[in-house]
Amino acid sequence: MRRFFTDPSNIGDKYISLNNREDIKHIVKVLRLKLGDELDVSDGIHWEYRAKIDVIYDEEILLMIVDKQHFAREPKVNITLYQGVPKAGKMDLIIQKSVELGVNGIKPVMMDRTVVNDNGKFNKKIDRWQKISAEAVKQCKRGIIPKVFDLIRFDGMLKELNDYDLVVFPYENIEDYSIKDLLSEKEGNRIAVIIGPEGGFSEKEAKKLKDMGVKGVTLGKTVLRTETAGLVAISMIFYEYEL
């Protein structure tokens, strides 16, 4: 069943108002839903609803609440992916799949070996990436839409790492300390995963992380692409802590 999102202010005790034009068009023109058909609706914060279409206006659809419950598909672990910006369309795939897996947020990071030039055009990219996140959520029926944050620099990322209980730093030069070792030694609800761009981390960047006490881990015997490494790390974390 298709999932829609609305602001909590649009939700009352018995009715929900959907007033987003794109949602209304999708419900009426694409899905061709009618009075009495049911939808899933999330407030994006705490609650999800099953609701029945009661009235269809040109600029609003009123839904009668049938059921209300806390999010059923949100993971307990809160993961933020710090992704070294890759080239071409790889970021689209990274966002889509990491959202499906359950990350809470994605932060694009400019690193030493990032080959993409900023050129002041990242605002448009962020908007598009946020739409990809929203579409992925609707497909996998999560309760929240993970935020794609504005572009930050590597040193800016370092300043944020103290806010996390655990930092996962997959590094290709590590062979004797695995992500399994790290996850079995430490626990935390707020986790940062740091992934380098195509060229990996520079030695200077790796040293800065090490100086902060962040220990690199290996994800296995093979060297993974940037668009694969984050998804593998996220999957391993959820397997360890959620399953």
Looking at the chain, the whole-number percentage of residues with pLDDT higher than 70 is 98
Do 65 and 85 lie in one domain? The reply is no
Q: How confident is the model at residue 76 (pLDDT cuts 50, 70, 90)?
A: confident
> For residue range 144-202, what is the model confidence (pLDDT) as tens digits?
999 999 999 999 999 999 999 999 999 999 989 999 999 999 888 999 999 999 999 99
My answer on whether 91 and 202 are in the same domain is yes
**Quick one: 7 and 56 in the same domain?**
yes
Phi, psi angle pair for 190, to nearest 5°: -110, 115
For the domain that residue 139 is a member of, what is the CATH number?
A: 3.40.1280.10
Residue 59 and residue 155 share a domain? no
Among 26-30, 32-36, 113-117, 174-178, the range scoring the smallest mean pLDDT is 113-117
Q: Residue 1's pLDDT band (boundaries 50, 70, 90)?
A: low
Please identify, among 70, 89, 107, the residue that sits at the C-terminal boundary of a domain. Answer: 70
Give the residue from 173, 148, 143 showing the smallest Cα distance to 72.
143
Q: How confident is the model at residue 61 (pLDDT cuts 50, 70, 90)?
A: very high
Whether residues 92 and 36 fall in one domain: no
pLDDT over 90, % of the chain = 72
pLDDT at 46: 82
| pLDDT computed for residue 119 by the predictor | 61
Is residue 38 pLDDT above 80, yes or no? yes
Q: Using CA atoms, how far apart are residues 115 and 60, in angstroms rounded to an integer?
A: 45
One domain, residues 37 and 123? no
Domain boundary among 15, 35, 70: 70
User: If you search the block for the tokens 């609003």, which residue do you land on?
Assistant: 60
- pTM of the predicted protein model: 0.86
Residue 9: partners with Cβ closer than 8 Å, 6 or more residues away: none
Q: Please give the span between the terminal C-alpha atoms of the chain, in angstroms, as a whole number.
A: 25
Calpha distance 151→192 (Å, rounded): 16
Same-domain pairing of 117 and 202: yes
- Does residue 91 share a domain with residue 39? no
Q: What is the pLDDT of residue 63?
A: 93
Q: Find the mean pLDDT for residues 93-121.
A: 90
Span 23-44, mean pLDDT? 90
Task: State the residue range of the domain holding 143.
Answer: 78-242
Give the model's pLDDT for residue 45: 83
pLDDT: which is higher, 194 or 143 = 194
- Domain boundary (70, 94, 129) is at 70
Same domain, 66 and 108: no
Examine the domain organization and report whether 108 and 47 are in the same domain: no
| Phi, psi for 181 (deg, rounded to 5) | -60, -45
Distances 150 to 62, 88, 153 between C-alpha atoms, Å: 34, 18, 10
Residues 70, 62: Cα–Cα separation, whole Å: 21
What CATH number does residue 66 fall under? 2.40.240.20
Q: How many structural domains compose the chain?
A: 2
